[in-house]
Amino acid sequence: METIGKSYDLIAMGRSSIDLYSNDIGAPFEEITAFAAYVGGCPTNISVGTRRLGLRPALLTAVGDDQVGNFILHFLRREGVETQFIPRKLGRRSSAVVLGIEPPDRFPLTYYRDNCADIELTIDDVLATPLADCHVLLISGTGLSKEPSRSATLFAAELARQGGATVVLDIDYRPDQWNDQRAFGVTLRSALRLVDIVIGTEDEINAAMLTDTTQISIAHSQISDARVRGDTDAAIQQLLTLGPRVLVQKLGATGSRVHIVSEPGEGETRRIDVPGFPVEVQNILGAGDAFAAGFIYGVVNGWDWYKAARMGNACGAILVTKHGCANFMPTYDELMTFIQDHGGF
Q: Given the complex with a second copy, which of 75 and 305 has the nearer CB atom?
A: 75
- Write out the H or E segment, with its range, that includes residue 262: strand 255-263
Exactly one of 80, 105, 128, 180 binds a second copy (CB under 8 A); which one? 180
By CB under 8 A, residue 282 contacts a second copy: no
By CB under 8 A, residue 96 contacts a second copy: yes
Q: For residue 116, how many C-alpha atoms fall within 13 Å in the half-sphere facing its CB?
A: 26
By CB under 8 A, residue 240 contacts a second copy: no
The Cα–Cα gap between 120 and 184 comes to 18
Cβ burial 126-163 (10 Å sphere, 16+ → b, else e): beebbbebbbbbbbbbbbbbeebbbebbbbbbebbbee
Residues sharing a CB contact under 8 Å with residue 322, sequence separation 6 or more, in sequence order = 282, 283, 286, 328
By CB under 8 A, residue 25 contacts a second copy: no
At 217, is the secondary structure helix, strand, or coil?
strand
Q: Which stretch binds a second copy (CB under 8 A): 111-119, 197-205, 250-258, 301-309?
A: 111-119
By CB under 8 A, residue 18 contacts a second copy: yes
By CB under 8 A, residue 147 contacts a second copy: yes
Q: Which stretch binds a second copy (CB under 8 A): 16-24, 79-87, 281-289, 329-337?
A: 16-24
Q: Given the complex with a second copy, which of 189 and 307 has the nearer CB atom?
A: 189
The Cα–Cα gap between 184 and 230 comes to 15
Biggest CA–CA distance in the chain, Å, is 57
Count of residues near a second copy by CB under 8 A:
55
Amino acid letter for position 40: G
Q: Given the complex with a second copy, which of 4 and 34 has the nearer CB atom?
A: 34
Exactly one of 4, 5, 30, 263 binds a second copy (CB under 8 A); which one? 30
The Cα–Cα gap between 184 and 138 comes to 18
Q: Kindly state the smallest distance separating residue 342's Cβ from a second copy, in Å.
A: 30
**Residue 68 and residue 98 in contact, taking contact as beta carbons nearer than 8 Å:** no
Which residues of the shown chain bind a second copy in the complex (CB under 8 A)? 18, 20, 23, 29-37, 66-68, 70-71, 74-75, 93-94, 96, 98, 100, 108-110, 112, 114-116, 122-123, 146-148, 151, 154-155, 158, 179-180, 182-183, 186-187, 189-191, 193-194, 211, 221, 242, 265
